[in-house]
Each structure stands twice: as structure tokens, then as C-alpha cells.
Amino acid sequence: MKNKIKQIAQLVYKSKYAVVMTGAGMSVESGIPPFRGTTGIWTKYGKPKLDSFSDFKKNPTKWWDDRRNLTIDKHIIELRESLTKAKPHDGHYSLARIEKARYIKSIITQNIDGLDLVAGSKNVIEIHGNRKRLRCLECNNRIDLEEYIPIYAPDPCEFCGGTVKFDTVLFGEPIPKDIMKSSRHEIDKSDLIIAVGTSATVRPASGLLWIAKSQGAKIIEVNIEKTKLTAISDYYIKSKAKSFFVNLEDELASNSNH
């Protein structure tokens, strides 16, 4: 492992624009279960119907009532409980310092837990939104929440009267155009992608990894098990997210003293 970290640190050093993409595996060591894979919450409860956005649009008031009355899928309740308790782990803090030192230029996260921002990372694109935020479906106006669950359906947007929902991108919901544009912009600038803790199964987010590869970027995969991304990765590191970033920070710091 030490050798592999050394090699990765060299690649980061030599890169012009390194980008990190994280998935649910990045927050497992903060107590938030992943969706898929051996420890996945869907593996435990079964894969849900992936039509939550059409459910929402059909009847937003019922959608919110279900969340207030907990008449929702068990996995959503378990995810919500873990989200409210989650704190960044050492790997989130190491990543924030690696970004501050400019080795990594940006982080595209599929996670909605906001832990990268809490840990101090700055250039973070939350491609699936942030669970502690509301967003207007029409004008994209976003409102940060003090706590996780608004008890009643929020009022229509104060700017355009549009429908307001959690910022979290639901299945079947398009990723907001501004977010998709900035994500693609990062990918187009990247010559090195470090994909950590993602099964690389959900598009369009995971598709960005294949686009990066097709545009000549090197792909490094960090995961506890191989995925469909492994086949196109230049490096695969079998590692948990926390120890990977802690070791990478140490290696980059020791190199910079040479």
C-alpha cells in the first residue's frame, strides 16, 4: 500500500488539474451507510422504486406529509438518522488540507451529507445536492436549512412562486443545469481523477468518469471492492477512504519537504 500511495502522490504532484470524485463510500466511516455493495443499505432493505421525483411532482404535500409521519421507506429513515449524526472523519479533513495546498483543484461529490464543506473543503460541487438545503425547481434559488427536516411543505419560492423541495436530486430528477455545467467544466480541465468510494453506477454523475478517461485523464480508483470503473482505471487501490486520504496527505507533505 505504501508504494501505491507514493506512486499516487507522484501522479498528483505531476498533474496540472487533479479532481476528486467521491461517492457514498467516502462517508461510510462517518456512519452513513452506502447504497450498494456488501454493506449497502439497499442490499439490506432491497432496491427501492427509483421514481421518487415523479412521486413528488404528483403530490408534493403528500410527499412532505410522508416525511413528517415517517410513512416512507425504511432505508430513508435509516439514512436520515445517520445523516443527522454524521461528522466529517479524518479523511474529509485530510482532503480539505490537500485541496488547500492546491494539490487537488476540486471535489465533485455524489453525497448529500455536506461533510466536505464542514471539513473545510472549498471548491466542492455537490452533484446530487445537499440534504440541508432547499431548492426551487423553477428558478434554482437555494436556501440553507438550520436543521434537516422542515416539518411542513415549504412555501412556494419567494422569488418566482415555484415549487420548493429538498436540494437532494431525486431519482428521475434532472441534475440542475448550473451544477451539471460546473461539474463538466471541472472534468474538461482535469488530467487526473481520483474516484473514491463510488460504485460508478449512477449517471450522469458516473458518466463524467468515462468522459474524463476519453479526454485523456488518468483515473485512480480507491474502493474496498472492485467496480465497473476498475476496468478503465489506471490504478486501483483497495483501501477505505479515510486511510487513503490520511496516507496521501502524509506522503504529499513529506515530499514537499524534499
Binding site for ligand APR (CB under 6 A): 23-25, 28-29, 34-37, 39-40, 110, 128, 197-199, 201-202, 223-225, 227, 240-241
Shortest reach from residue 252's CB to ligand APR, in Å: 19
Q: Which is nearer to ligand APR, 112 or 157 (CB)?
A: 112
Query: b/e map of 189-204 (b: 16 or more CB within 10 Å)?
Result: ebbbbbbbbbbbebee
Q: Which is nearer to ligand APR, 132 or 240 (CB)?
A: 240
Shortest reach from residue 75's CB to ligand APR, in Å: 10
Q: Which is nearer to ligand APR, 50 or 160 (CB)?
A: 50
Q: Which is nearer to ligand APR, 103 or 245 (CB)?
A: 245
Active site residues: 128
Shortest reach from residue 89's CB to ligand APR, in Å: 9
Shortest reach from residue 199's CB to ligand APR, in Å: 3
